[in-house]
Chain A
Amino acid sequence: MTLKDSTEFKPDLYVIARIITILHEQGPMNRTNLSTAIGLSYDRTVVYLTWMSDRGLISIDSDGYVKLTRKGEETYLTLVQWIINYVGKLKFPRRSIGDRSKD
């Protein structure tokens, strides 16, 4: 992949969150296992890993093992905190006019 490709790449936040979550929960793993775990093709996984590596979220050692950097761990915590802060405080009406479930 060229540098131009890497900068034009528009990642899916869902895939990034999956990679970060899996690495956070299961620790370092090789690219093949990681692509299987996230359910993405190997080539596509490599594109994401390159993008994340460029931004310092992950590091890949000489054996091909991928691990979260400190920034990656912070990103995971930021995502969790964001979800808890925003979604957690939402309050939804629980039933409609025709709903008799709580009567």
Chain B
Amino acid sequence: MSIEDVKARIIEFRDFLINIDRANAIADALPDIAINLLTYIVLLLAVPIIYEVIFVTYYDTFTMTIIGVALSVLTTAYFIYVIVAKILRKIQRAGQDVTGRYAHWDRLLNEGLPGIIAILESINYDELIIKIHRGKLGYVVAVIVYIIISTLIAGFALFGLIFLVILPIFVFPIPTQLLTQYSIPISLTLGFALTMKLAWNRISESIRTLWMIDSITWELRWIEHDLKRLYRI
């Protein structure tokens, strides 16, 4: 291994720190994300109940169709608003200001050995290890949010595909009970299964990352300890 290989490792270290900072920023945004998601899930559960209540108290086929369409449009619009405008933007913003923190590392790396030492010296290891532990929480949140959002998106897509396109083609009229009571749970279950199938590699890699983070904290402790020993040269 040469100094050039070490430089490459330092760049990986920087990417790792950026991810940890991002995960910390996500952990900071966790209350807002949770409120937004819970609000949406409550709305999603409330819509069929509202529909049922209106169905029982004020039955009229035409009105019910209008109300059904209106509720679907409102739920979809709110879904897009919550996911795109609030949660995804929050996660995206969380990552925006962290990359600039390590911009000076490129210049230091060009200096070779002294630059690498300067980088290692500039790190507050106690603070970093606290950040790493906290970042793990953010990382778990990011994985869960990713699964939930992907499930919701896939669920909506499957809902449209199955209950609005495929079923009306092959089964008409669609049994009302299937459409009102089971369509959303079926869509979400299928959406979850699809998410896990498509994103399993990424999710399992994230879980492996969480395990690796623990071993990295030990390695960093050793670096800090031995860096102090270097001063005695």
Please report the total number of A residues contacting B with Cβ < 8 Å: 30
Task: Say yes or no: B223 contacts A87, CB within 8 Å.
Answer: yes
Interface string of B218-233 (1 = CB under 8 A from A): 0100110011001101
Knowing A92-B12, A96-B139, the reply to whether A84 touches B114 (Cβ < 8 A) is: no
Other-chain contact of B113, A83, A88, A95 (Cβ < 8 Å): A83
Q: Does A1 contact B (CB under 8 A)?
A: no
Q: Does B120 contact A (CB under 8 A)?
A: yes
Interface residues of A in 74-97 (CB under 8 A from B): 75-76, 78-80, 82-84, 86-97
Set of chain B residues within 8 Å of A103, measured between Cβ atoms:
202
A90's partner among B13, B23, B121 (CB-CB below 8 A) is: B13
Most buried by A among B2, B113, B205: B113
- Chain B 110-125, CB-CB to A under 8 Å as 1, else 0, gives 0111111110110000
When chains A and B are docked, how far (Å) is the Cα of A68 from the Cα of B185?
Answer: 74
Closest Cβ–Cβ distance, residue A95 to chain B (whole Å)? 7
- Name the A residues within 8 Å of B23 (CB-CB): 96
Q: Mark B187-228, 1 if CB is under 8 A from A, else 0.
A: 000000000000000110110110011011001001100110
* B111 near A98: Cβ-Cβ < 8 Å: no
The answer to whether the Cβ of A60 comes within 8 Å of any Cβ in the partner chain is no
Instruction: Fill in one digit per residue for A4-31: 1 if any B CB lies within 8 Å of its CB, else 0.
Output: 0000000011110110010000000000
Q: How many A-B residue pairs have CB under 8 A?
A: 105
The distance from the CB of A103 to the nearest CB of chain B, in whole angstroms, is 8
Residues of B in contact with A, size category = 35 or more
Tell me if B's interface is mostly helix, strand, loop or mixed: helix
B19-30 interface bits toward A, Cβ cutoff 8 Å, 1 = contact, 0 = none? 100110000000
Quick check: A96 and B113 within 8 Å, CB to CB? no
**Residue B40 lies at the interface, judged by CB distance under 8 Å to chain A:** no
Q: Is the CB of A78 within 8 A of B114?
A: no
Q: How far is the CA of A83 from the CA of B209 in the complex (A)?
A: 24
Q: Which residues of A contact B117 (CB under 8 A)?
A: 13-14, 17, 79, 83
Pick out which of these stretches binds chain A: B3-11, B43-51, B55-63, B74-82: B3-11
Residue in A closest to B7 when the chains form the complex, CB atoms: A87
Instruction: A47 to B57: give the CA distance in the assembly, Å.
Output: 90
Most buried by B among A21, A80, A97: A97
Encode A56-78 as 1/0 by CB contact (under 8 A) with B: 00000000000000000001101
Q: Pick the residue among B6, B146, B233 that contacts A97 (CB under 8 A).
A: B146
A97 and B23 alpha carbons, distance in the complex (Å): 10
Chain A nearest CB, measured from B39 CB (Å): 22
The chain B residue sitting closest to A80, CB to CB, is: B113
Name 11 extra pairs, CB < 8 A, besides A79-B113, A83-B113, A84-B3.
A13-B117, A14-B115, A83-B117, A88-B6, A91-B216, A93-B19, A93-B213, A95-B19, A96-B142, A97-B142, A97-B203
Could you jot down 18 A-B contacts, CB within 8 Å? A12-B121, A14-B121, A17-B117, A75-B233, A83-B116, A83-B117, A84-B2, A87-B120, A90-B13, A90-B219, A91-B215, A92-B9, A92-B12, A96-B139, A96-B209, A97-B142, A97-B143, A97-B146
